[in-house]
């Protein structure tokens, strides 16, 4: 009998795997202390981003069934 691997619950809340296997995530920095931030920076932080290849290998191990 083959054992199942547990998915890392913190990783499944923060990362999604795209159809091509890349890892996307939400950028940090939009929770508080926003008054000093420029509007341009705030708009850029709203977009999702693709994780670097080096880090995405570690995340993919934490999300085995995606």
Please write the tens of the pLDDT for every residue from 12-43: 999 999 999 999 999 999 999 999 999 999 99
Q: Answer positive or negative: Cα dihedral of 49, 52, 55, 60.
A: positive
Between CA 28 and CA 54 the distance in angstroms is 19
Confidence grade of residue 66 (pLDDT, cut at 50, 70, 90)? confident
The confidence score (pLDDT) of residue 1 equals 77
d(CA 19, CA 22): 7
pLDDT score recorded for residue 14: 95
Residue spans per domain, the chain? 9-62
**CATH number belonging to the domain at 9-62, selected among 4.10.410.60, 3.40.50.300, 1.10.287.10, 3.40.640.10:** 4.10.410.60
Tokens 């080096």 belong to: 54
How much is the pTM?
0.81
């Amino acid at each position: 009998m083959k054992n199942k691997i547990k998915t890392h619950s913190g990783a499944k809340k923060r990362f999604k795997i795209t159809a091509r296997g890349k890892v996307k995530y939400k950028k940090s920095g939009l929770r508080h202390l926003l008054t000093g931030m420029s509007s341009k920076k705030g708009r850029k932080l709203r977009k999702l981003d693709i994780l670097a290849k080096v880090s995405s290998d570690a995340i993919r191990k934490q999300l085995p069934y995606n």
